[in-house]
A and B are shown apart, each in its own frame.
Chain A
Amino acid sequence: MGNPLVTILGVGNFLFADEGFGIRVIEKLQAEYRFPEEVLVVDGGVLGIHLLGVISQPDHLIVVDAVRNRGKAGDLYRLAGEDIPRRVLAKNSLHQVDLLEALTLCQALDKVPETVILGVEPEDIETLSLEMTPAVRRQVAPMVARVLQELDRLGVTYSRRSPS
């Protein structure tokens, strides 16, 4: 008790090639590491507003996703604080209540977690395929390391699972 709550949230859709990156990182984290109980590791899929319950709980939120940042495929990014776009949810967008909008809605609940978005530049997010492109697939392990760095920054301890 008393430790800050941390949620690691992978988002994306593994049906569309590089769109699955965030989910694949989460799967690897779950398979290879043990985390204390104040750390939740969540596969958020492509849910927008339905993730509000997940994102309005913790003190710290680490999001892993494909991020289009006009770089080259496989580039890794870290967005925090002011870099996180303040996307506006106009009620005239039809259902585009995405993750960033859900974060904005957290403000209405007075519960906005300190958020870091860790992203990879995708190459292909349109082909229906369970396989990521090589440039992006290569970045799963480095991204796992980056997530762990964030936990180090927050003073969270974790351990590697022994290969069974």
Chain B
Amino acid sequence: MGKRITIDPITRIEGHLRIEVEVEGGKVVNAWSSGTLFRGIEVILQGRDPRDAHHFVQRSCGVCTYVHALASVRAVDDAVGIKVPANARLIRNLLNGAQYQHDHIVHFYHLHALDWVDIVSALKADPAKTAALSDNTSNAPWGGRQYFKNVQVRLQTFVDSGQLGPFANAYWGHSAYQLPPEANLMAAAHYIEALRMQARAARMHAIFGGKNPHPQSLVVGGVTSVADLTPDRIAEFLYITKETQDFVKNVYIPDLLAVASFYKEWGGIGGCTNFLTYGEFPASDQEPESFYIPRGIIRQRDLGKIEMVDQQKVTEDVTRSWYVKSEPKHPFEGETRPIEENPKYDPDKGQYSWAKAPRYDGLPCEVGPLARVLVAYAKGHTEIKPLVDSTLKQLDIPASALFSTLGRTAARGLEAVAIGEAMQGWVTELVENLKNGDTRTYQPYEMPESASGVGLNDVPRGALGHWIRIEDGKIGNYQYVVPSTWNLGPRDGAGNLSPVEEALIGTPVADPQKPLEVLRTVHSFDPCLACAIHVIDPHSNEVYKIRVV
């Protein structure tokens, strides 16, 4: 029996995600992921008008407001049997694309970079050498000795004031940090620039979203952004898209490659076996054929054989979750019946998570950027394949290294490039339509007495499905299966580990008291768990504890 390490962020309600690993001989030999995921939306939705569902579902997550609204209107579009007009499709794509651009920048710099970048080491960097490194590796518009000196002074101020803020971290100086001080300083500077960029990028949603946060412009049948289809609004959107894309290409990608070049061994750590993507960004009414990001399943890492997805094969298993025992169920049959007794955390034999275990044809599947990029790569995607190939070449690693934490983090950046380019084409298409007198943004429909609908989407964190049943013109049942449940759920009745549990096995852990390496893989999935509760607690202490059991 190895050492058990529990990583349990204590939040204001309860741990949203608790990761437990068993370490033997400096490596993870077993892992358990326990989550508190947003559950029970159907309680609020039952009996309501299906046209209102998206207003409620987009409040169930604190990170991805738009995506649940999109999934919801698509599920109802499907139920009422309509296709939305081309302009509505383009605006929905653009808003989703904006979400990708924004999310991926925030994830890389603000949620993941500090797993690889040692801020305290940056204080020791030589600003002149940092400027030279920046000139050689980055196309960033900022640089020079004085600029990096200023960043260093700012970091030092943070550290000296004890107000470490974002840079408060117990792991600085950990042996697993491998960047030289100058690379750490460059990355720290770009962390701050990315904060500025993301604040601007968020405005894209405000332009066609009617408001931001919580865009209100989606409706069943299309969009309501009619007043925004003016040359100056579209130009403003295009301007911010291009500005964001410049940042992705000139700063994010060079940083990604620079950091990755010091961590190539992570191309052999943190991989999963099966991959699922619903695909995204329709170019016409033909779905999924016209998707820019193709739909598909990869089993057993076999890139030679991409299967089409059949949503009927999606089930949720509750064997190891705190719900009343039942067979794995398709979301249309889905129910949420928590056990009556107090939940007991029993990772070894019993139930240990509030998350259910989503499976495809019984298989756990990784969803998200890596799944999307792998499916596109295997299908010879004209934009994504060359991006992947040149990255592999630049880092001098084989394609098999994609099945890893490094691959997952790289895929996120590469798809940000591809989607950002595609967005500019969608803007052009929208402008052409308007020029040619096609201003339609809405398709009228009749609400049926009874119907069912499915909205399959791929959003920044992965495959997102919404399922709705309409009875007597009202919502009879509503379920969704979200990306983080796919990636960070528990084991299932057949004993299959979830993707994150599988990915953690084999991870080296240099210091069980400071499981930095474990966090690298967990963060690479960009976990987004029930940010649905949000209360300020002035008495809350540090949100983190590690117990070595």
Contact = CB atoms under 8 A, between A and B. Distances in A.
A154 interface: no
Interface stretch (B132-140, B323-331, B351-359, B538-546): B538-546
A129 B195 CA distance: 35
Contact of B198 (A53, A79, A99, A101): A53
A92 B62 contact: no
B313 interface: no
Contacts of A93: 9, 11, 543-544
Contacts of B106: 49-50
A19 B62 CA distance: 13
Contacts of B59: 13-15, 45-46
A47 B213 contact: yes
B170 to A, nearest CB: 7
Query: Which of the four size classes fits the interface of chain B?
Result: 35 or more
Contacts of A79: 538
Contacts of B529: 94-95
A163 B11 CA distance: 43
A154 to B, nearest CB: 22
Nearest to B526: A95
Contact of B542 (A47, A88, A107): A88
B3 interface: no
Interface in A91-150: 91-101, 104-105, 107-109, 117, 119, 122, 125-126, 128-130
A126 B38 CA distance: 11
A90 B168 CA distance: 5
B361 to A, nearest CB: 29
B213 A88 contact: no
Contact of B213 (A14, A50, A108, A122): A50
A136 B110 CA distance: 35
B337 to A, nearest CB: 14
Contacts of A100: 536
Contacts of A46: 59, 61-62, 531-534
B474 to A, nearest CB: 16
Interface in B184-215: 191-192, 195-196, 198-200, 202-203, 211, 213-214
Interface in A56-106: 56, 65-70, 79, 83-101, 104-105
Contact of B544 (A11, A92, A98, A104): A92
B62 A48 contact: yes
B115 A91 contact: yes
A5 interface: no
Interface string B494-531: 00000000000000000000000001001100011101
B398 interface: no
B192 A66 contact: no
A16 interface: yes
A98 B534 contact: yes
Contacts of B343: none
B109 to A, nearest CB: 10
A69 B537 CA distance: 7
B2 interface: no
B1 interface: no
A12 B534 contact: yes
B214 to A, nearest CB: 5
Contacts of A51: 213
B44 interface: yes
A159 to B, nearest CB: 22
Given A13-B534, A95-B527, A50 B63 contact: yes
Contacts of B542: 88, 90
Given A43-B214, A90-B542, A93-B544, A65 B535 contact: yes
Contacts of A68: 12, 535-539
Given A13-B59, A49-B110, A51-B213, A67 B544 contact: no
A56 B199 CA distance: 8
A85 B538 contact: yes
Interface string A13-56: 11110010000000000000000000000111111111111101
Nearest to A83: B538
A87 B540 contact: yes
B164 interface: yes
Nearest to A46: B62
Contacts of A126: 13, 533
B291 interface: no
Given A15-B56, A99-B536, A92 B9 contact: yes
B110 A97 contact: yes
Contact of A107 (B11, B163, B523): B163
Nearest to B162: A86
A50 B202 contact: yes
Contacts of B531: 46, 48, 95
A15 to B, nearest CB: 5
B62 A45 contact: yes
Interface string B317-349: 000000000000000000000000000000000
A91 B166 contact: yes
Contact of A130 (B44, B115, B523, B543): B44
A101 B61 CA distance: 18
16 contacts: A13-B533, A45-B62, A47-B62, A48-B63, A48-B531, A50-B63, A50-B213, A68-B12, A68-B537, A70-B539, A90-B543, A91-B111, A92-B7, A108-B165, A109-B195, A122-B535
Given A69-B538, A94-B16, 11 more contacts: A19-B534, A45-B59, A49-B198, A53-B199, A66-B535, A70-B539, A92-B170, A92-B544, A95-B63, A100-B536, A109-B195
